[in-house]
Amino acid sequence: MNLKDFYAKLSVFVMVVFFMLCCQHQDKPIPPKTDPVFDIHSFAREAIIHHAELDLEVDFITRRIIGVVTYQIEPRGQENIFFDTQGPDVTQVKVDGKQSQFTFGLEDKILGKALIVPIKSTSKSVEISYTTQADAAALQWLTPQQTAGKKHPFLFSQGQAILTRTWIPIQDSPGIRFRYKARVKVPKELMAVMSATNVESKSIDGIYHFEMPQPVPAYLIAIAVGDLQFEQLGPRSGVYAEPSMLAKAVYEFSDTEKMINTAESLYGPYAWDRYDLLVLPPSFPFGGMENPRLTFVTPTVIAGDRSLVSLIAHELAHSWSGNYVTNADWNDFWINEGFTTYFERRIMESLYGKEYTDMLAVLAKKDWVAANRDIGSTNKDTHLHLDLKGRNPDDGMNSIAYEKGAFMLQMLEDTVGRDTFDLFLNKYFSQHAFQSMNSAKLLDYMNHHLPIDSLRIDLKEWIYNPGIPANAENPVSNRFEQVDTAYQKMFKSGKWAIDGVKKWSSHEWVRFISQIQDTAKPEQLKAIDKAYHLTVSGNSEILNIWFEKAIRTGYSKEIMAEIEAFLIQIGRRKYLVPIYRALRGKGQIETARRIYLQAKPNYHSIAVNTIDQLLKE
Ligand code: BES
Ligand code: ZN
């Protein structure tokens, strides 16, 4: 080949490469959505997916997942199909097995960018090859040091609300459901589990096969990989955990099977065959996540005395409210969480009695009142139906959805009677199985199926107005009345060792600590600590509120080492926020920043985003 030929070939080659790069990365605006119900947090519209097949390789060295995802699609007459992506490098797209062009929409800081693939009305499948980024927001890659066993690395994903798009190019909207299958390859010494059918022991070759036969939205796809072992809890329940955590987990969660049976007797058949739990390392940013068939839980619920298992009741309840009937978009997050919180308390009441559940309800009401005050009782973020346009859903989804939602349902129960309300809920779940729900549709359904008019209940006020409606229940707890009496006695007399206190559950302790005024003297907290050793409690709920109070009252100077250890060890956002906020509020932002610097590598991106905000200049 002479030089001229060579240059001619080279220039063709350069042009081809240039064309390929161009057509992959050309940014263009996306046509407006025309769906009657659309989700402002997804680029998906009209043409939808209804089956996904994932082929994944998990690489701990580069901290990437190399994947191919094949979707069965329904074109609905559209020229393009739109997927949500935020991060994954898309290397190839095929439509019906043939290589296809693809483009990306304009990048949005919150939503990522649409992957746009041209299709025909007869197209059946779209195959996308991709590699995730090492910093994919859904994924947390842990070093062996960050696990219980200290020997093997660990990976987990957290999809809710809009993070699945950071590890799978997908239609990431809670209103779009599909079934999925997966083949996952991991290092041989590790086990992979997903929110799908799971095996009970490690495979020989590190290859795992999964199937989710019920249709789910993208935020409920989840994966975890680590040194895991399984143990049965009941005929359809079990726990996965690192070997050193397994026995403790089995003890703690021994009532799981009973919870499933109780939930079924309340609101109808469990739709997902099995209900297993996965105990994560302490960096898990939530208490629990209702991944179908496999709830992900923080190890901080393992208190040793089963005192925090309402969290399991909560995640289990999502199998109905959330996973079975799902909020259509994140503005109606309360339809997932409010129903679930109400349902959680009903499970707890059935299993552990009213006296026990009254304690949970009183604590919840106090939290609701505090959140309402903190956010501002006229702030739109205290509505049940949110307006998250232009915002990251994670920023607007606060505890109002849980408590205002649950208390609205409690108010309805009190007004129409429990039997009527339970019948209503049974029907509600079965009639909307595997469908999505929004506030308007729910309001309409309630108006048709409950005697709301004649009872003059203003549900619109609950859903679309701020603050705490006047007809919200004020729960009372006998046991807390005794705690309050003891509290008065102690603070009046200065004598801290009192009869009966030794028998308190963690909920009574949380109540007691929550009553302590910020103006209490550090010496008083010190005396309480001396009598009851709260600083070294093994119960994370007690530790959390105790550390917050210690900071607010100035006692923290003496126990800073323990507070620091807690913040470094635990990545559960609900615990981090009050402690960092208290430090900030007491003029100790420098201390907070110093601790955070050390703790940050242990936090999931969800917690990092929140704490970054909280401690920024
Ligand atoms: N689905 C939520 C967790 C979640 C909420 C993830 C918002 C992403 C965005 C889960 O069911 C939940 O509510 N967890 C609570 C525990 C519960 C007992 C209140 C938690 O993590 O604290
Ligand atoms: Zn929940």
Distance 399 CA to ligand 1 centre (A): 9
Nearest to 199 by CA among 211, 188, 187: 211
Alpha-carbon distances of 123 from 79, 312, 472, 481, 552, rounded to whole Å: 10, 43, 52, 66, 62
How far is ligand 1, taken at its centre, from the CA of residue 434, in Å?
20
pLDDT of 33 > 70? The answer is no
**How large is the average pLDDT for residues 458-479?**
98
CB within 8 A of 518, min separation 6: which ones? 549, 552, 553
Structure-derived torsion over alpha carbons of residues 45, 48, 53, 59, reported in degrees to the nearest 10: 0
Mutate to test the pocket of ligand 1, among 290, 332, 337 (most ligand atoms within 8 A of CB): 337
- Residue 474: alpha-carbon gap to chain centroid: 28
**pLDDT given for residue 23 in this prediction:** 43
The four Cα atoms 276, 282, 283, 288 give a dihedral, to 10 degrees, of: 40
DSSP 217: E
DSSP code of residue 112: B
Pick the atom of ligand 1 nearest to 298's CA. Answer: 21
Separation of alpha carbons 501 and 524, rounded Å = 17
Identify whether the C-beta of residue 543 lies closer than 8 Å to the C-beta of residue 566: yes
Distance CA 159, CA 137 (A): 9
The pLDDT tens digits for 306-323 are 999 999 999 999 999 999
Q: Whose CA is nearest to atom 18 of ligand 1?
A: 311
How many Cβ atoms are within 10 Å of 190's Cβ, its own excluded?
A: 21
Separation CA 506–CA 549 (nearest Å):
16
CA gap 253, 91 in Å, rounded: 44
Query: How far, in Å, are 173, 187, 553 from residue 514 at the CA level?
Result: 38, 47, 12
Q: For atom 2 of ligand 1, which residue has the closest CA? A: 289
Ligand 1 pocket check: which of 220, 221, 286, 340 to mutate, most ligand atoms within 8 Å of Cβ? 286
458 pLDDT exceeds 50?
yes
How does DSSP classify residue 26?
-
pLDDT digits (tens, 9 = 90+) for 369-393: 999 999 999 999 999 999 999 999 9
Q: What are phi and psi of 49, to 5 degrees?
A: -95, 145
Q: What is the pLDDT of residue 18?
A: 46
C-alpha dihedral (223, 321, 430, 213), degrees to nearest 10: 0
| Residue 108 per-residue DSSP state | B
Q: What angle do CA 542, 564, 289 make, to 5 degrees?
A: 55
Phi, psi of 209 (to 5 degrees): -115, 140
Q: Encoding tokens for residue 227?
A: 């040194």
Closest ligand 1 atom number to CA of residue 333: 7
How do residues 253-305 score in pLDDT, each as one tens digit?
A: 999 999 999 999 999 999 999 999 999 999 999 999 999 999 999 999 999 99
Q: Which residues contact 578 (CB under 8 A, 6 or more apart)?
A: 544, 545, 548
Three-state secondary structure string covering 69-86: EEEEEECCCCCEEEEEEC
Can you tell me the mean pLDDT for 186-205? Answer: 98
The ligand whose atoms approach the alpha carbon of 157 most closely is 1
For residue range 542-586, list pLDDT tens digits in order: 999 999 999 999 999 999 999 999 999 999 999 999 999 999 999
Residue 501 has pLDDT above 90, yes or no: yes
Best CA proximity match to 229, nearest among 241, 220, 247, 245: 241
Q: pLDDT-derived band of residue 182, with 50, 70 and 90 as boundaries?
A: very high
| Mean pLDDT along residues 405-434 | 98
Reference 295, options 244, 261, 249; nearest CA is: 249
Nearest CA to ligand 1 atom 14: 288
**Catalytic positions, please?**
315, 402
Question: For position 36, what pLDDT does the model report?
Answer: 42
Residue 489 makes CB contacts below 8 A (sequence gap 6+) with 495, 498
Tell me how crowded residue 201 is: count the other CB atoms within 10 A of its CB: 9
Answer whether residue 28 shows pLDDT above 70: no
- Residues at CB less than 6 angstroms from ligand 1: 160-161, 286-290, 311, 314-315, 318, 337, 397, 402, 574
CB 297 within 8 A of CB 308: no
Measured in Å, residue 332 CA sits from the centre of ligand 2 at: 13
Any idea which ligand is nearest the CA of 290? 1
Q: How confident is the model at residue 455 (pLDDT cuts 50, 70, 90)?
A: confident
| Span 224-240, average pLDDT | 98
Cα–Cα dist 174/323, whole Å? 10
What is the per-residue pLDDT for 476? 98
397 in helix, strand or coil?
Answer: coil
For residue 154, pLDDT over 80 is answered with: yes
User: What is the model's pLDDT at position 12?
Assistant: 54
214 contacts: CB under 8 Å, gap ≥ 6: 179, 271, 272, 292, 434
Separation between Cα atoms, residue 339 and residue 333, nearest integer Å: 10
Tokens in use for 80? 């393009």
Q: Is pLDDT at 183 greater than 70 in this prediction?
A: yes
Nearest atom in ligand 1 to 287's CA: 21
9 pLDDT higher than 80: no
At residue 38, the pLDDT reads 81
In the chain, % of residues over pLDDT 90 = 91
**Cα distances (angstroms) measured from residue 198 to each of 186, 223, 230, 293, 411:** 15, 11, 10, 9, 40
H or E, element range at 492: helix 478-493
pLDDT of residue 6: 55
Confidence of residue 25 (pLDDT cuts 50, 70, 90): very low
Distance CA 392, CA 362 (A): 31
Which is the closest atom of ligand 1 to the Cα of 318? 11
Which pair of tokens denotes residue 142? Answer: 């842990």
What tokens appear for 568 in the block? 């470094």
- pLDDT tens digits for range 577-610: 999 999 999 999 999 999 999 999 999 999 999 9
In whole angstroms, give the CA distance from residue 225 to residue 186.
8
Q: Which atom of ligand 1 is nearest to the CA of 344?
A: 18
Q: Once rounded to an integer, what is the mean pLDDT over residues 28-54? A: 78
Which residue has its alpha carbon closest to ligand 1 atom 22? 287
Mean pLDDT, range 73-97, rounded to an integer = 97
Task: Yes or no: say if 162 and 393 are a contact pair by the CB < 8 Å rule.
Answer: yes
Query: What's the token pair of residue 346?
Result: 């009903």
User: Does pLDDT of 4 surpass 60?
Assistant: no
Q: What is the mean pLDDT of the chain?
A: 95
> Ligand 2 center to residue 292 CA distance, Å?
12
